[in-house]
């Protein structure tokens, strides 16, 4: 079973019955029960299997009404029954979307619980379509905190879909960028990212740390930064890494999106061979997926933190990747990274090592965090998530939630530090 200790029910239902849109068309009936006879009639109604009614508030004593959630497909039957049996009722909520848009916290919780028994299993890997649908759902469920930011389309014309978490009401605030899925086969990264999306939405207003961060800063989250590659790992080749752009003059497809950033482009740790898995591309930001993110961040102008999720190796790293020499802020970044690693280890004992990209992993010029750092985003980190090579890219699904939970602790540590510094 999959649950969120903050009581936000990140459930693991594998039964996909109704679409979210339909659920939001459900209504809440308030039914008055004046005597024993009416109570038994209400029970009769509640017990009919096919109507799928849900009792939100039971009539504790006579004279107190019952609140019943009626699915959109049962509305007509329920109304007929109530009218036929002379039961007094009123429709208190015409559609659940309005509840979510309202201030009624208690009702909201009920609605979200309802919506929770939906399709998305956080403890499993999903297609791009399913992830995007769940992102839609999160936006719908938390309309005042979360908005959809569609920054453009990939090479094969798939949506580059970003979630924005903001309490800022339109004003542009200092921001944090969370990136995942640049490398298509690193499935644990998008899986972790979508869990984090839901977690942020759930925990706002409950968890001191994230609530405080969101009071001052906006969070942008891109769970699938390379949608074409991700789809390709589902349809053709589970171990594909790059984008799916065409290379003129070559039969080989794709560029390594984490060598394509405009920072020491084409240096050590890259290849100029289009067939290589580390091909840097014809020029910086040649990949539309990279360009869209870089341009968005540059245009926004006030990002303070950039974190890129990858797998595998269990590392928390900071710039530089293009060389092994230390970045100017390496001392501070090292401490922050170490604190993050400690936080991550505190949950399940998973050990993450810490260091600069170049000295810990390998040379990698033109990577995302080097670019972020060179463009004024001091707190630039890249994570290599589980594991250390045992299952490698095909990390079993039962490790998704533990990985996401520990990663979240690491991210919070970093974001908290950033918040205190700005």
Partner 1 sequence: MQLRRQPLSAPRPGDTRPAAQRLAVPLLLLLALQGAAASGEPEDSGWLQDAEPSSRLLSQAARAALHFFNFRAASPSALQVLASVLDGRAWVNQKKEYKFDLVFTTEFYRAEEGEKRLGTCSAQVFFRNDKPRPAVNVTCTQLIKKERRQEEDYQLYKLMKQLKSPLNAVRIPDSHGYIAPSLRPIWNLAFLGSSYVMWQKTTPFLHYFMSQISSVKQWKTNDDAIDFDYTVLLHEFSTQEIIPCRIHLVWYPGKPLKVKYHCQERQTPEEGSGTEEGSAVALTELSNF
DSSP labels, 93-131: ES-HHHHHHSS-HHHHHHHHHHHHSSS--TTS---HHHH
Question: Catalytic residue among 38, 289, 384, 406, which?
Answer: 384
Round to whole Å and give the CA distance between 354 and 317: 6
Cα–Cα nearest to 386, from 234, 188, 241: 188
Handedness of CA 256, 259, 262, 265 (dihedral sign): negative
- SS3 call for 55: strand
What is the b/e burial string over 353-368, where b = at least 16 CB atoms within 10 angstroms of the residue's CB? bbbbbbbbbebbbbbb
Interaction between residue 397 and partner 1 (CB under 8 A): yes
Q: Closer to partner 1 at the Cβ: 47 or 351?
A: 351
Interaction between residue 343 and partner 1 (CB under 8 A): no
Interaction between residue 276 and partner 1 (CB under 8 A): yes
| Closest separation in Å from C-beta 129 to partner 1 | 16
Stretch touching partner 1 by CB under 8 A, among 52-60, 202-210, 286-294, 343-351: 343-351
H helix or E strand, kind and range, residue 92: strand 89-93
Interaction between residue 389 and partner 1 (CB under 8 A): yes
Contact 364, 321 (CB under 8 A): yes
Interaction between residue 278 and partner 1 (CB under 8 A): yes
| Backbone torsions φ then ψ of 310, nearest 5 degrees | -135, 180
Stretch touching partner 1 by CB under 8 A, among 7-15, 39-47, 201-209, 387-395: 387-395
Q: Closer to partner 1 at the Cβ: 36 or 390?
A: 390
384 counts as catalytic: yes
Stretch touching partner 1 by CB under 8 A, among 65-73, 194-202, 288-296, 385-393: 385-393
| Closest separation in Å from C-beta 329 to partner 1 | 21
Interaction between residue 277 and partner 1 (CB under 8 A): yes
Handedness of CA 65, 66, 70, 75 (dihedral sign): negative
Q: Closer to partner 1 at the Cβ: 165 or 322?
A: 322
User: One symbol per residue from 123 to 162: x for binding partner 1 (CB under 8 A), - otherwise; what is it?
Assistant: -xx-------------------------------------
Interaction between residue 273 and partner 1 (CB under 8 A): yes
| Closest separation in Å from C-beta 235 to partner 1 | 11
Tokens of 242: 């790059």
Handedness of CA 326, 328, 334, 340 (dihedral sign): negative
Instruction: Using CB under 8 A, pick the residue from 6, 21, 275, 298 that binds partner 1.
Output: 275
DSSP labels, 289-334: HHHHHHHHHHHH--EEEEEEEEESS-EEEES-SS-SSPPTTHHHHH
Stretch touching partner 1 by CB under 8 A, among 76-84, 133-141, 327-335, 389-397: 389-397
Q: Site residues for partner 1, window 209-238 (CB under 8 A)?
A: 233-234, 238
Round to whole Å and give the CA distance between 38 and 173: 55
Which positions touch partner 1 (CB under 8 A)? 124-125, 233-234, 238-239, 241, 256, 271, 273, 275-278, 345, 349, 351, 353, 355, 359-362, 388-397, 399
Active-site residues: which are they? 384
């Amino acid at each position: 079973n999959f649950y969120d200790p903050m009581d936000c029910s990140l459930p693991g239902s594998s039964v996909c019955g109704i679409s979210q849109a339909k659920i939001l068309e459900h209504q809440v009936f308030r039914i008055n029960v004046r005597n024993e006879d009416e109570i038994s009639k209400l029970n009769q109604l509640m017990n009919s299997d096919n109507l799928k009614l849900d009792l939100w508030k039971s009539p504790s004593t006579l004279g107190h009404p019952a609140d019943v959630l009626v699915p959109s497909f049962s509305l007509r039957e329920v109304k007929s029954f109530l009218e036929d049996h002379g039961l007094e009722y009123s429709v208190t909520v015409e559609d659940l979307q309005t509840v979510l848009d309202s201030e009624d916290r208690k009702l909201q919780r009920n609605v979200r619980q309802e919506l929770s028994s939906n399709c998305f299993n956080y403890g499993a890997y999903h297609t791009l379509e399913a992830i995007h649908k769940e992102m839609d759902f999160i936006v719908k469920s938390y309309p005042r905190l979360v908005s959809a930011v569609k920054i453009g389309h990939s090479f094969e014309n798939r949506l580059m879909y970003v979630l924005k978490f903001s309490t800022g009401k339109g004003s542009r605030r200092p921001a944090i960028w969370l990136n995942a899925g640049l490398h298509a086969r690193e499935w644990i990264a998008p899986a972790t990212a979508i869990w984090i999306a839901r977690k942020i939405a759930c925990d706002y207003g409950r968890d001191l740390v994230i609530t405080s961060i969101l009071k001052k800063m906006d969070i942008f989250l891109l769970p699938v930064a390379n949608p074409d590659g991700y789809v390709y790992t589902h349809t053709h080749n589970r171990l594909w890494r790059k984008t799916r752009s065409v290379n003129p003059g070559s039969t080989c497809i794709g560029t390594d999106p984490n060598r394509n950033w405009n920072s020491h482009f084409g240096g050590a740790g890259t290849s100029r061979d289009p067939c290589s898995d580390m091909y840097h591309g014809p020029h910086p930001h040649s990949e539309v997926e990279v360009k869209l993110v870089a341009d968005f961040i540059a245009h926004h102008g006030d990002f303070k933190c950039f974190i890129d999720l990858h797998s595998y190796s269990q590392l928390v790293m900071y710039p530089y990747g293009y060389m092994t020499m230390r970045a100017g802020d390496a001392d501070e970044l090292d401490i922050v990274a170490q604190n993050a690693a400690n936080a991550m280890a505190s949950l399940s004992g998973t050990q993450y090592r810490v260091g600069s990209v170049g000295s810990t992993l390998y040379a990698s010029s033109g990577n995302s965090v080097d670019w972020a750092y060179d463009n004024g985003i001091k707190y630039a980190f890249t994570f290599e998530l589980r594991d250390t090579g045992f299952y490698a890219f095909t990390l079993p699904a039962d490790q998704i939630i533990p990985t996401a939970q520990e990663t979240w602790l690491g991210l919070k540590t970093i974001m908290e530090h950033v918040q205190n510094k700005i």
